[in-house]
A and B are shown apart, each in its own frame.
Chain A
């Protein structure tokens, strides 16, 4: 186990399997710990006529009941745009909006106190679906547009067109660890916050703001999350702010750990989209123009809707060169909880549109959709500029396509699928191949920065702090890997500390798949500084022996050596001890910002991404057209992560991301009723994939020997891109439905393709077919 050449498992794996990992809810806290609860609105839109907290306050064991007027600072938690109150004040704008906070000696007492709160609402007209919001032009922000070529002209000369509407559903994050925060008041204004958050610096800012204190008085610490997936990028802040308010009011530590159903009801989800599209194409199937209007249900406040919409707009091309493309993005205001980040961050919603367009073109031309896809791929040398002006470099689409056809034996699968469908009336198979091209970087360019702090102690052990947060994705494991190879010491001497705003300040969220890219570089920067200091120290000390040699000292296998110093071999801990005695600083900060990226929002042009991640997948499914059930028979994924820092972790990300995407595309259905109440508010009705929902045959392969220039260890980000491999499953299901009508009718199809949707779609095709026969 030397020197990082072995591939390690997740650095918490041993703790996880023995039940010894500590999450916030597991922390030992003093006897005075109080339990916090959120009283939330049961109206989608209403004026609060009156309320009475007295009965609740009087309940034995209740320490505090707070309303908006008890907030010492600003009643505001909006992360980008300041349009989201911490507690409802005078009116509520969604079912699930926090109105009051309760702290009590135990959770049950806090619950009973909530029941004693009296509130009277005067209902106001509510907008509870996207269509109504579109009709009312209820925009949260001015609409955005990105355009290239001459779309209108392209349509006037177009041979064939396809036009339609695609709806994609919301998705609940369903991190296994629900939102949690523990706040411990210190002396004066100090507040120590433990929060399950992807963005400790923002949590710190929000907590300081609601408490009316300054940021240097608030420390946020985050060791690990039990999953996040974007759901704790901004919305973890809210829970922390609530717990902090209660802690301030009571002077006691307060913990809020949301019950699952409350978490589902209160927090925002992936944005549902209603997308209108129109495309022009040639008789071969080459797309000449695409005109798309993306409408997102932003919920009642902005949260991250703007950058999410922006990413959706950046991904309406997916992997295809479309010379004339116009995409308009509108974020609608509805009376739903504010929708938020979720793995893919708008990318999946944008890409679903173009994938639908291609699927339809293939059906109309009676061609294999995989061929149409290939025909439209970005070129390597030409046809390689996106609609926002970025050149697609290091394009791996063709490589992936050819390899994947071979790996999956695609043509044989195709023949087998068709033969099966000829023989069976009620069981149908479907097949699809879909590509992913995903831009890596925060599209808000200044966020692409990171910091790190590396401390080496006198025994030679290393403690690293960086701005990234660990949510299971293996970021810390990769950081250890980076540090181990740079310092040339075994991983066992390196630890990553909890993410802490007092160690590394002003960090960005661990999001946009960029955690390793940014923090890895910052860690490398800090280590570089220390290595330089150590080398200088050694050069000076051994100056007479190395005679001005410019060759560097070599840090490897837990020792330092020098090529011109035979016999010189110093163990790393000894070196550190010596350096300390010679007054060399053994602590350094590191910093990194992604070079060369920019985007002009007015013009809709720029280079928003440092690079692209690529991947491709093939899935074959079987559906029962009488029950609407489906089974994924086979999935082949080929994915590009550059030179993987840790292939074990990257493979886990690809598999997990894909299955999460499969959930969004199939069984995960968010339904609201007309009153804006979430119907699928518990795992009883909201169904994420289980162990039997994965492909019967599941092949995942990382592309090899594809170094990515200009990134940490030539690697690529991996968190989000694999999510969209799920389109191969979604479109394979559509292909199977389409087979019911021998591909002569376009199936009604949306995301998610639940058993209900499949049945309804099949039913419609059967009716159309009967109609034809009867003619």
Chain B
């Protein structure tokens, strides 16, 4: 089987080929940020944290959108390994303006607006801001303020207080998109298509690194079987931290981000099917009308940059007690479809997660699909996430509730699953039992809440003390009742 030993991507209008064996300077786990900063012309891209939390390193990745155009996505270059940008166009702050014939910069509308609105002070966040605003500009005309805020929620600025930046973004996105990227679109698509057509597995072997990137499921399963010790990645938003924060040596990586077969969302009468390689942002957009509870939780999942890379498969496989999609997957009785060599298993997510960051995956299996039973009309679903800061923060406590009420307002079906309360996302079975078949009332909810203290012994940590977590868990149940109960209270719905 022929393989590719180098990676190719577009930077500064040219196809760059990186052969790791030759270069010596870079390894396959060199981050895109460190690569860019090693070049003379891309030091504008900044490291503010090296862990996805500030956005100073934001760059934009463009790739064919399958509809004859290009999609532009803002991502954190500090969390991306070089081979992950194979087949894409890499756009940094330095690429966004044009130059006149004297090499003076001619500002892009987003840059011009930032200057005019005084959206930059010390300037250190600015290259990342420009990148995020550029992606926003490519994707939205006249966006609402909320859309702008979403697009910038992954970019921290310590100087300006943001008002000026938001105004700049609103202003910039008013003008018609006629920038040089639009004008050069065809050439870029042509170049990328050429790279795209080659589906030979990328195999990079350097001194002490092996990096495998297959493009078909068959190949992926074969590589998985042959390399059970390889660390799998898709978005690498979790795994990259092992390198940037923990400085771990990652000798062997199986990169599954090239598998188009795992990037899908579809539905039939009974279920919504999500491919393991689908990004959180794609899922969020799809679910806004079809599964609002999931869209809601993804709305506060990391930042747009994180959601553009992070995948459902990665979230599931992290099996973290604060993995934000997991309470919902469990409460909705979702299953994961695992593909092995010549076998297939469908396992309830609840059983699949076996402990703190542990799953029941077999050494030759890959998670392929997440199967979520489609809620019937009468099913009530709510999910909540509590964190210190609303955006770009990890849950202190999260919860998902699923309920069916009878005509008499009695609880017929109930699922209560919490995140952040135990070593894994966990069902509050005792509380469910109290609620079952009873009248859905505030008094009943209080009784059920009392069961939580017996079921959970949460931790105290940097995010909150154990007793606070308990208050949160109780309150969320009450909040669920408030939003769904039919009697006495008419709370104005001013917050989410």
| A residues whose Cβ falls under 8 Å from a Cβ of B | 9-10, 12-23, 25-26, 28, 108, 111-112, 173-178, 224-229, 259-261, 420, 423-427, 471-474, 622, 624, 626-629, 631, 648-649, 651-652, 655-660, 667, 669, 671, 679-680, 682-685, 687-694, 698, 700, 754-756, 759-760, 763
Contacts and interface: CB of A to CB of B under 8 A. Distances in A.
A621 to B, nearest CB: 11
Contact of B115 (A9, A22, A178): A9
A226 B122 CA distance: 5
30 contacts: A9-B118, A10-B121, A16-B127, A17-B93, A17-B126, A17-B130, A19-B42, A19-B43, A19-B126, A20-B44, A21-B44, A177-B124, A227-B159, A471-B122, A472-B123, A473-B121, A652-B118, A656-B158, A656-B160, A682-B51, A683-B51, A683-B53, A684-B51, A685-B388, A687-B389, A690-B391, A690-B392, A692-B153, A756-B465, A760-B468
B388 A759 contact: no
A658 B158 CA distance: 11
A14 B494 CA distance: 41
Contacts of B120: 10, 12-13, 16-17
A691 B118 contact: no
Nearest to B463: A685
B162 A424 contact: no
B491 A424 contact: yes
Contacts of B50: 259-260
Given A16-B126, A474-B121, A624 B495 contact: yes
Contact of A652 (B94, B121, B472): B121
Chain B contact residues: helix, strand, loop or mixed = loop
Contacts of B97: 17-18
Interface in B100-141: 105, 107, 111, 114-116, 118, 120-127, 130
A682 B393 CA distance: 12
Contacts of A423: 492
Q: Most chain-A CB neighbours within 10 Å: which of B92, B123, B162, B478?
A: B123
Interface of B: 40, 42-51, 53-54, 56, 92-94, 96-97, 105, 107, 111, 114-116, 118, 120-127, 130, 149, 152-153, 155-166, 245, 247, 384, 386-394, 396, 461-465, 468, 471-472, 475-476, 478-479, 482, 489, 491-492, 494-495
A176 B115 contact: no
A679 B465 CA distance: 13
Contacts of B461: 679
A234 B269 CA distance: 66
A656 B461 CA distance: 30
A331 B165 CA distance: 40
A9 B160 CA distance: 13
Nearest to B126: A16
Nearest to A14: B115
A544 B358 CA distance: 96
Contacts of A174: 156, 158
Contacts of B153: 690-692
A656 B118 contact: no
B158 to A, nearest CB: 5
B148 to A, nearest CB: 8
Nearest to B97: A18
Given A17-B115, A759-B472, A425 B489 contact: yes
A176 B157 contact: yes
A648 B40 CA distance: 33
Contacts of B386: 627-629, 755
Given A626-B475, A688-B158, 16 more contacts: A9-B118, A18-B93, A23-B46, A176-B46, A177-B122, A224-B123, A426-B491, A627-B386, A627-B472, A655-B164, A656-B121, A659-B162, A685-B462, A687-B393, A689-B161, A691-B153
A225 B384 CA distance: 40
A424 B495 CA distance: 12
B122 A225 contact: yes
B149 A108 contact: no
Contact of A26 (B43, B49, B462): B43
Nearest to A226: B124
A423 B43 CA distance: 55
Nearest to A20: B44
A691 B155 contact: yes
Given A424-B491, A425-B489, A755-B388, A175 B122 contact: yes
Contacts of B463: 685
Nearest to B387: A755
B53 A652 contact: no
Contacts of B53: 682-684
Nearest to B243: A108
Contact of B92 (A17, A19, A473): A19
A648 B119 CA distance: 10
Contact of A229 (B123, B126, B158): B158
Contacts of B157: 176, 691
Nearest to A19: B44
Nearest to A633: B494
Contact of A18 (B56, B111, B392): B111
Contacts of B46: 23, 176-177, 226
B130 A19 contact: yes
A379 to B, nearest CB: 33
B439 to A, nearest CB: 20
Given A622-B494, A690-B156, A667 B389 contact: yes
A15 to B, nearest CB: 7
Contacts of A16: 114, 120, 123, 126-127
B394 A684 contact: yes
Contacts of A759: 468, 471-472, 475
A660 B49 CA distance: 18
B111 A691 contact: no
Contacts of B111: 17-18
Contact of A9 (B116, B161, B166): B116
B247 A111 contact: yes
Nearest to B40: A28
A41 B313 CA distance: 39
Nearest to B151: A691
Contact of A658 (B92, B124, B161, B384): B161
A23 B51 CA distance: 21
A685 B461 CA distance: 10
B118 A15 contact: no
Nearest to A683: B53
A659 B389 CA distance: 14
A721 to B, nearest CB: 14
A651 B118 contact: yes
A677 to B, nearest CB: 11
Contacts of A226: 46, 122-124
Contact of A472 (B49, B121, B475): B121
Contacts of B94: 18-20
Contacts of A471: 122
B494 A176 contact: no
B29 to A, nearest CB: 11
A22 to B, nearest CB: 8
A763 B492 contact: no
B158 A427 contact: no
Nearest to A471: B122
Contacts of A656: 121, 158-161
Contact of A763 (B42, B122, B471): B471
What are the 5 tightest A-B residue pairs by CB atom distance, in nearest-first order? A19-B44, A472-B122, A226-B124, A16-B123, A19-B93
Contacts of B43: 19, 22, 26
Contacts of B152: 691
Contacts of A9: 115-116, 118
Nearest to A626: B475
B389 A18 contact: no
Given A17-B115, A659-B161, A759-B471, A622 B495 contact: yes
B149 A691 contact: yes
Contact of A627 (B51, B126, B479, B492): B479
Nearest to A681: B462
Contacts of B51: 260, 682-684
B406 to A, nearest CB: 26
